[in-house]
Amino acid sequence: METVSENKCFGGVQGVYRHRSDLCKCDMTFGVFLPERARHAPVPVLWYLSGLTCTHENAMTKAGAQQWAAERGLALVFPDTSPRGEGVADDEAYNLGQGAGFYVNATQNPWAENYQMWGYLAEELPRLLVDTFQIDEERQAICGHSMGGHGALTLAMACPGRFASVSALAPIANPSQSDWAKKAIHAYLGEDGDYWARHDATLALRTAGFDGPILVDQGTDDPFIEALMPQSLATAMAETRHPGAFRLQKGYDHSYFFVSTFMEDHVAFHAEALCG
């Protein structure tokens, strides 16, 4: 593993690292923030999955999570959103290809060769992190924004016992019913509707559920709100009586101004689940 950079940050270290992924068959870059107390003992970890067109860097520099994670003694992990590089399939559309992995294991060509983001985040990267950094494997939580909110919710529901809590900011909540989101899901997974259910937070909550609390924030002035279909997830949470909160934030849009405004709430939510 290559160290790209390391910078002191709120008493801890914000690092960027690169490694060769066996699953994605390319070099993958990710960020890790380690609070000061990680110098002495393994610390709980909060995963942050980013949205369409983002790399590992967007949330790392714009979400403002490090300050709150340092106060709570949490590590942060910022993975990339897709495989990248020469020879990796891409598309002109911003919601398909590089920067738009949708956190699935693609089964269709030309995507299946590299786009194995589900396995990368569920298996390969966690093993590397635990082997390399002072991270407590038994205390993990996950959050995400937009496409990353979709990934966080579906990964949490499909990995029982791994994550103590899950949160999302403006997630793609019901992609199997969203005409806008269907294009990428069809391209990556084909027409297998049963497999789709694993990658739809609204459907997964009804079928698989989740052992911990859920927090969702959605801006009312989000220009993508019709495509995101937040009402579907809110209804599923109410119908399953799932513990947690779905909050509509008046006047907020889809940007990192929205994300950074509520980041402290999300870090505190996960710290409570991880540390009490």
Structure tokens at 85: 């590089």
Among 145, 222, 232, 266, the active-site one is 222
Domain locations along the chain: 2-275
Is residue 204 within 8 A of residue 158, CB to CB? The reply is yes
* pLDDT on residue 193: 65
Percentage of the residues of the chain whose pLDDT score is greater than 90:
93
What confidence tier does 18 reach under pLDDT thresholds 50, 70, 90?
Answer: very high
**DSSP conformational letter for 108:** S
- The verdict on whether 254 is a catalytic residue reads yes
Mean pLDDT, the chain, rounded, equals 96
Q: What is the pLDDT of residues 184-210, one digit of tens each?
A: 888 999 986 667 788 999 999 999 999
* pLDDT on residue 198: 86
Among 145, 150, 254, 266, the active-site one is 254
* 87 to 90, 114, 123, 240: CA distances (angstroms): 9, 9, 24, 44
* pLDDT on residue 182: 84
Q: Thinking of the domain 2-275, which architecture would CATH place it in?
A: 3-Layer(aba) Sandwich (3.40)
Average pLDDT of the residues in 131-147: 97
- The verdict on whether 21 is a catalytic residue reads no
- The verdict on whether 222 is a catalytic residue reads yes
Whether residue 74 is predicted with pLDDT greater than 80 in this model: the reply is yes
Among 50, 146, 165, 167, the active-site one is 146
pTM: 0.96
* pLDDT on residue 181: 87
